Amino acid sequence: MLDDPIDLSFRPTVNSAPKRMTADQIAHYNSEGFIQPFDIYSGAEIADIRAYVDGLIADMGEAGGYGINCYQARLSGLWDIANDPRILDLVSDLIGPDVICWATAILSKKPHDPKRVPWHQDASFWSLSPARTVTVWLAIDDADEANSAMRFIPSTHDKGALPESERGEGSVFHKGTANAEALGAPFTNTLKAGQISLHADMLVHGSLANTSDRRRCGLTLRYCPPEVRITDPDWAKGVEAIICRGSDPSGHWTHHPRPENNDITKTASPHVVGNN
């Protein structure tokens, strides 16, 4: 584990031969901190994934909406999505040929869900250094302004750690980025079901309450290159990584092969286990 301070700086992508992205798209990611939308799954494919996700949420009961975290190495269905080459081609264009998936989460806002996700920078919550994670947000349902699509504040990803403030009732997190409204106009991450966005781990983002009659469900997948290190041994207990592409010569990341299990009731999240 590391003794040095966590590096939360942004390193721009330099890629002269991308597989799927254009040079303009990579430049947009470097300057704005995100890129979207990309078509990944057909209507039939995302319908199957939605049915799968609905089953996981139903099996988890009350915890289903926000509590399905870090099962990517314990459920074959999530393992398969994390290893989908159509997603990995895009991720590789940003972080290189060696790709680690270290976390996933299902985030489902029911119709009229009052919870807000405050403006925040993901990497400020994580014990990882340097900050090189790219988050893929897969739309399980159509996501738009009406049903509380995620919002980004462009070009906040390269500012380092921004001041934080406490958050009150109705907020998913207890803290968030202070005075975010002064950082620029938000961009609404509108996606059709089956599309994805990709954003940098220090980009300020959040979402409002879902005041619509429609659910808004997404799956996040966190990818990083193997140079990233876990800095806290206790935090590491909640991480079960998949080396999706390439290798990790250092051996820092333990690869978890595809599990046989796909029943969430027969396992538990290592994220929960590692923090009890």
**Contact between 226 and 100 (Cβ < 8 Å):** yes
pLDDT of residue 172: 61
In the structure encoding, which two tokens stand for residue 263, read together? Answer: 């029943």
Of 158, 134, 104, 162, which Cα lies nearest the Cα of 228? 134
pLDDT of residue 5: 79
pLDDT of residue 274: 37
Question: If DSSP codes are grouped into helix, strand and coil, which group holds residue 178?
Answer: coil
Q: How many CA atoms lie within 13 A of 26 on its CB side?
A: 20
**Contact between 275 and 239 (Cβ < 8 Å):** no
At 167, the pLDDT band (50, 70, 90 cuts) reads low
Question: Which helix (DSSP H) or strand (DSSP E) does residue 216 occupy?
Answer: strand 216-224
Of 185, 164, 183, 184, which Cα lies nearest the Cα of 175? 164
pLDDT of residue 23: 96
Question: Which of 2-6, 74-78, 88-92, 103-107 is predicted with the least confidence, judged by mean pLDDT?
Answer: 2-6
- Tell me the residue type at 58: A
Asked whether residue 68 carries a pLDDT value surpassing 80, the answer given is yes
Asked whether residue 72 carries a pLDDT value surpassing 80, the answer given is yes
pLDDT of residue 113: 92
- Buried b / exposed e along 77-95 (16+ C-beta atoms within 10 A): bbbebbbbeebbebbbbbb
Residues 64-68: what's their mean pLDDT? 85
- Report the mean per-residue pLDDT for the chain: 93
Residues facing residue 120 across a β-bridge: 205
Of 88, 114, 87, which Cα lies nearest the Cα of 208? 114
**Domains of the chain listed by start with CATH number:** 34-273 (2.60.120.620)
Asked whether residue 195 carries a pLDDT value surpassing 80, the answer given is yes
pLDDT digits (tens, 9 = 90+) for 218-261: 999 999 999 999 999 999 999 999 999 999 999 999 999 999 99
- Tell me the residue type at 122: D
Question: Which of 26-35, 73-82, 91-100, 168-177 is predicted with the least confidence, judged by mean pLDDT?
Answer: 168-177
Q: What is the DSSP string of 110-175?
A: -TT---BEEEE-GGGGS-EES---EEEEEESS-B-TTTT--EE-TT-TTS-SPPEEE--TTBSSSE
